[in-house]
Amino acid sequence: MAAAIHPQLPLPVRLREETTFASFLPGANQGPVRLLQDDPAEAHERFIYLWGAPGTGKTHLLQALCHRAAQRGDRALYLPLRQMGVPPQAVENLEELPLVVVDDIDAVAGQAGWEAALFHLYNRVHERGGRLVMAGARSPGVLGIALADLRSRLAGGLVLQLQLLSDEDKADALRLQARQRGMFMPAEVAVYLLRRCPRDMHALFALLDRLEHDSLAAQRRLTVPFVKEVLRL
């Protein structure tokens, strides 16, 4: 499993192996996904702000950027602010990396120390010619950022919005993710999960984790009867 490591952080941030561009079904988000995949050496915008409701795939795409950087031999850091519980000093010296990715910026909105730290990080990365990608649940103007200079930076780069997938696309996304893990999920299984389970992508992929584990343990294929047995639906 890939890991993004920096000496300023107490622990390495591990990336999920399956969070690649190849395993992401864009649906209505083909434009934003294509722009995210632009070659950094040719990209006009060095700063990107990605936003969308929970379940639109922000974290997947941010980690996919780090995986892509690793494939090119570049160092990258994925920093999920909602999960890590690190102080603002954690972003010091990150401008040394070719790519810095900050997830869940809305988790620190209104916190003066963090807002100042992210503002200065932006400036340092810009001066060094690196690439900075941040993501949040809402657009820059309604994110709750108090520091006007940071709001201006967030809105001044390339702002990309992600849309929720349709039910048909969610079924296709489940089948694609299963295929990336070496499993075959029949269309009727994907449809059954969407009809009987919570339909946000976080919950559906968590179910897929469980089904993958149980199908390997039982040496069973993914069928509707097997899903009913595992999930007791």
**176-227: per-residue pLDDT in tens?**
999 999 999 999 999 999 999 998 999 999 999 999 999 999 999 999 999 9
For 100, phi and psi rounded to 5 degrees? Answer: -125, 130
Domain ranges across the chain: 3-161, 167-231
pLDDT at 86: 82
**Contacts of 149 by beta carbon, 8 Å cutoff, 6+ apart:** 119
**Contacts of 73 by beta carbon, 8 Å cutoff, 6+ apart:** none
Report pLDDT digits (tens) over 68-113: 999 999 999 999 998 877 889 989 999 999 999 999 999 999 999 9
Domain topology for 3-161: Rossmann fold (3.40.50)
Q: Determine the Cα–Cα distance for residues 204 and 196; give it in Å rounded to an integer.
A: 11
What CATH number should be reported for the domain whose range is 167-231?
A: 1.10.8
Contact between 133 and 35 (Cβ < 8 Å): no
